[in-house]
């Protein structure tokens, strides 16, 4: 067993909704003591979608490390 906090894997849909509502900072506060993992496919979907939905750029630029 480890003392490291449980990590969360974030998916494109929820991240997109938080970004569109400008609530990424709220999500970061809630998850501040946990490891946050964004799979490569989610990052790629966000990069692809950022051309059409500029708020997805915020997902990619956010610092998710505690």
- CA-nearest of 3, 4, 2 to 36 is 4
Which residues are CB-contacts of 18 (< 8 A; sequence separation ≥ 6)?
A: 24, 26, 27
Determine, yes or no, domain membership for 13. Answer: yes
Determine, yes or no, domain membership for 29. Answer: yes
Over its length of 66 residues, how does the chain's per-residue pLDDT go in tens digits?
556 666 899 999 999 999 999 999 999 999 988 888 999 999 999 999 999 999 999 999 988 765
User: What's the confidence (pLDDT) of residue 17?
Assistant: 96
pTM of the complete model: 0.80
Determine, yes or no, domain membership for 3. Answer: no
Determine, yes or no, domain membership for 23. Answer: yes
For residue 49, the 8-state DSSP code is H
d(CA 48, CA 30): 27
- The CB density around residue 59, as the number of other CB atoms within 10 Å, is 25
Give me the number of domains the chain comprises.
1
Determine, yes or no, domain membership for 38. Answer: yes
For 20, the domain range is: 8-61
User: What's the confidence (pLDDT) of residue 63?
Assistant: 86
């Amino acid at each position: 067993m480890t003392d490291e906090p449980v990590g969360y894997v974030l998916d494109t849909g929820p991240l997109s909704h938080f970004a569109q509502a400008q609530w990424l900072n709220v999500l970061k506060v809630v998850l501040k003591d946990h490891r946050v993992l964004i799979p490569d496919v989610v990052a790629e979907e966000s990069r692809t979608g950022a051309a059409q939905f500029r708020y997805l750029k915020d997902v990619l630029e956010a610092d998710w490390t505690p």
